[in-house]
Amino acid sequence: MTSTPPDLSRLRIARDEPSAGQRGALRTAAILFGLAVVIIGAAYLYFRPGSALDVNVSRVEVSGGGGGSGTGITANGYVVARTRASVSSRLSGRLAMLAVEEGSKVRRGQVMARLENDEYVAALAQTEADSGRAEASLTEAIALRDQLERDLARSRDLVSRNMEAAANAEGLQAQLLAATARVGVQRAQIRSATAAIAYARANLDNTFIRAPFDGTILRKDAEVGEVVAPVAAGGGLTRGAVVTMADLETLEVEVDVNEAYIAQISDQQPTRIVLDAYPSAAFAGTVRQIVPTADRQRATVQVKVAISDRDARILPEMGARVEFLAVAQAADSAAPIRIFVTADAVRTEGAETVVYLVRNGVASRTVIEAGPVSGGRREVRAGLSGGEQVIINPPRDLAEGARVNVVN
């Protein structure tokens, strides 16, 4: 049997199309090339000039070792007036006059405001009229008593000469006793009227709001037409104070010092005060009082610092930083060196306390042993030597070796 030869005319070699293996290799190469381009582009964007992260830095401070007069202890607080008052009225009423403004200088006893007082003026006039009527009644009672005394004397004379009955003298004696009692009643009425006048006059005087001491008006708490009272009530419709004033001669700074450092502060210790409003100016001061109690929540003790350098620029409620200076007699050249860093530069990462330093334009993560915070600074007990540039508020994504650009 003769077999039919196979038809080979349909067989073709596809020289223009790659095989399946070739197509897979080309796809892999394209993916790798694309990844390489992305990596190179990212590296370029990261390392090109101007791509460094902008950061704020501060210098690590060194104190002690006999190299300076400071103790290394600073604290933040506010300027307050030791003599300060919110002045209110002793009576409830509507404010009719306000004679002061913010910044007005007043003397003790000076009238600063007045309530509507027509009814108090009328009450005083009525009590004065009652007093006048009581005095007139007393004069009448005294005259009647004196007349009865003379009549009784004549009647007794006549009785002694048997020219008049004794009953007449006895009747006059009784009338004289009654008249004398009426004199006593009228005198009591006068005393009552005098007390009523004093009460009415005091109420009238209380409608005038006076300065309790020499000082400066800091704030107006009420305006003409508003109702004021000794104690504010009525959901904000009644004012409890008319003005707030203070004696600016008694300004001082109140600061909170970490209790770990309070043993190094003493009464009359010299200080240097720097106001937030005038950072380039420093004012001398002394420790006036260390409040004998601590704040349990913040672990601080309040210290009151008297301002020695009086200056018109110092105003109540200004923020201030106080540096406590070493007492000259206690200066010791062998005092230990202490390192301080801005508190905002310290960060906790897991179980470690770290800061990021700037070295040759890159961030360097440094583990430290940190102490307590005082006045916005934190003591560093190990890990730094002083003088380094430390990054303030380092970003969370800041990593070791990242390029940084120092802004200030």
Domain map (residue ranges) of the chain:
53-65+337-406, 70-82+250-329, 84-116+214-246, 118-206
Q: State the pTM of this model.
A: 0.57
DSSP reduced 3-state for 132: helix
Please tell me the distance from the alpha carbon of residue 275 to that of residue 279, in angstroms, as a whole number. 6
Inter-CA distances, 284 with 135, 323, 402, Å: 66, 10, 43
Predicted pLDDT of residue 277: 87
Which one, of 250, 329, 273, lies nearest residue 75 by Cα?
273
Predicted pLDDT of residue 44: 55
Please tell me the distance from the alpha carbon of residue 115 to that of residue 93, in angstroms, as a whole number. 6
Residue type, 395: P
Predicted pLDDT of residue 43: 59
Predicted pLDDT of residue 361: 82
CATH topology classification for 84-116+214-246: OB fold (Dihydrolipoamide Acetyltransferase, E2P) (2.40.50)
The yes/no answer on whether domain 53-65+337-406 falls in CATH 2.40.420.20 is: yes
Task: Give, for all 408 residues of the chain, the pLDDT tens digit.
Answer: 455 555 555 555 555 555 556 666 667 777 877 777 777 766 555 555 446 788 888 888 876 544 445 556 889 999 999 999 999 988 989 999 999 999 999 999 999 999 999 999 999 999 999 999 999 999 999 999 899 889 888 888 888 888 888 888 888 889 889 989 999 999 999 999 999 999 999 999 999 999 999 999 999 999 999 999 887 555 556 788 899 999 999 999 999 999 988 988 999 999 989 898 888 788 889 999 999 999 989 899 999 999 988 888 899 999 999 999 876 534 444 455 678 888 888 888 888 888 898 887 888 888 988 888 877 888 888 888 777 888 888 888 788 888 888 877
Predicted pLDDT of residue 122: 95
Predicted pLDDT of residue 142: 92
Please tell me the distance from the alpha carbon of residue 354 to that of residue 333, in angstroms, as a whole number. 31
Inter-CA distances, 285 with 254, 269, 288, 313, 316, Å: 12, 8, 9, 15, 16
Q: Does residue 109 come out as left (phi exceeding 0), alpha (psi in the -120 to 50 range) or beta?
A: left
CATH topology classification for 70-82+250-329: Elongation Factor Tu (Ef-tu); domain 3 (2.40.30)
